[in-house]
């Protein structure tokens, strides 16, 4: 853990617990950092350290159903959520209970699924963040064609409607993505960082999360559809930097380009050669990301 970190439990009104990490003492304000599906705070200790070196306080958490926060189902390896509005409420509780103790300006940095939640937060709570940086945000899922997209959506909707929402998606397993051999992974080109993630799960298997459930995918489609409604993006007044991974196998690049062009203060930067997990990539990809981050935040600090 980067020096000065504190881990705590945040009790939710419904009895769930979220594991929250904080680092105080930043002179430039606070970055609220949120990972994607399956992820946990330890995975991004390197990123936290880089934010700390830049002079920021940092707040991060394990999303409900992930890391060591309360899991949703009896089988803790099932990646499940009832609706993304649950994430919205959890984030609002963090902002009410934790954020006031940290210096402004407040910025947000989020990856993948975390980006979906954070863009919704920027839409609904324009007073929270002075700027938002999104790494490969889940604003559209990538399929091999429109027919495949319709098929997958139909399966998720159909299985959910007959009570199978808490089951793994067809072909899904309890095996965490980071437990796959490096040569089979589609997330990063960096073998050393990938090995670190595998070591974390070996040391604490409870951190691991397996495949998504039918219900999770159905909820993800609903969240993406809501953001795709006409005029929705135009109401997001917070400056947003979207970093797209050139070699992303999970996120639809066209959706990211569409979002950036329709956000009033949106910007898109493509990270060359990067797979989905830009922040866990090789050094040149990460350097390109940090260059974009520093420029974007620096411009906001001038205003």
Q: Strands 240-245 and 266-271, how do they pair?
A: parallel
pLDDT of residue 150: 87
Q: Is residue 242 within 8 Å of 267, Cβ to Cβ?
A: yes
Lowest mean pLDDT across 109-113, 170-174, 296-300: 170-174
What are the pLDDT digits (tens) for 278-295?
A: 999 999 999 999 999 999
Q: Which residues pair with 108 in a beta bridge?
A: 32, 132
pLDDT of residue 177: 77
Distance (Å, whole) CA 174 – CA 75: 9
Q: Is residue 271 within 8 Å of 288, Cβ to Cβ?
A: yes
Q: Is residue 290 within 8 Å of 124, Cβ to Cβ?
A: no
What are the pLDDT digits (tens) for 209-234?
A: 999 999 999 999 999 999 999 999 99
* CATH code of 250's domain: 3.40.50.1820
| Residue 170, domain extent | 5-302
- In order, the DSSP letters of 157-196 are HHHHHTT-TTSBPTT--S--GGGS-GGG-SS-S-HHHHHH
Lowest mean pLDDT across 4-13, 18-27, 146-155: 146-155
- Across the range 113-141, mean pLDDT stands at 98
pLDDT of residue 205: 93
pLDDT of residue 19: 98
Domain count, the chain: 1
First and final CA of the chain: distance in angstroms? 33
Distance (Å, whole) CA 32 – CA 48: 10
pLDDT of residue 116: 98
Cα 113 to the center of its chain, rounded Å: 4
pLDDT of residue 149: 84
Asked if residue 237 has a cis previous peptide bond (ω within 30° of 0), the answer is: no
- Is residue 160 predicted with pLDDT exceeding 90? no
pLDDT of residue 161: 85
Distance (Å, whole) CA 280 – CA 110: 13
The model's confidence at residue 16, banded by pLDDT at 50, 70 and 90, is very high
- Across the range 141-166, mean pLDDT stands at 87
The closest of 143, 162, 138, 163 to 153, measured between CA atoms, is 143
């Amino acid at each position: 853990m980067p020096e000065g970190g504190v881990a705590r439990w945040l009790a939710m009104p419904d009895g769930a617990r979220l594991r929250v990490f904080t680092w105080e003492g930043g002179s430039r304000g606070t970055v609220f950092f949120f990972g994607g599906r399956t992820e946990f705070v330890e995975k991004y200790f390197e990123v936290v350290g880089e934010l700390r070196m830049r002079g920021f306080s940092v707040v991060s958490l394990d999303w409900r159903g992930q890391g060591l926060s309360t899991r949703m189902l009896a089988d803790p390896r099932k990646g499940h959520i009832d609706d993304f509005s649950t994430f919205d409420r959890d984030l609002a509780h963090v902002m009410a209970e934790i954020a006031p103790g940290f210096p402004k300006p407040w910025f947000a940095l989020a990856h993948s699924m975390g980006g979906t939640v954070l863009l919704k937060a920027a839409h609904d709570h324009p007073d929270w963040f002075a700027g938002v940086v999104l790494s490969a945000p889940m604003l559209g899922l990538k399929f091999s064609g429109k027919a495949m997209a319709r098929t997958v959506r139909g399966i998720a909707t159909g299985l959910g409607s007959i009570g199978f929402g808490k089951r793994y998606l067809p072909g899904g397993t309890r095996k965490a993505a980071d437990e796959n051999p490096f040569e089979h992974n589609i997330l990063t080109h960096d073998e050393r960082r990938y090995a670190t993630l595998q070591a974390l799960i070996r040391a604490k298997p409870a951190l691991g999360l397996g495949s998504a459930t039918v219900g999770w995918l159905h909820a993800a489609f609903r969240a993406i559809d809501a953001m795709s409604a006409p005029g929705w993006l135009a109401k997001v007044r917070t400056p947003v930097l979207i970093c797209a991974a050139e070699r992303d196998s999970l996120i639809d690049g066209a959706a990211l380009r569409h979002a950036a062009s329709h956000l009033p203060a949106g910007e898109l930067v493509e990270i060359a050669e990067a797979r989905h997990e830009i922040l866990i990539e090789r050094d040149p990809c990460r350097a390109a990301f940090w260059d974009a981050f520093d420029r974007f935040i620096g411009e906001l600090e001038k205003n």
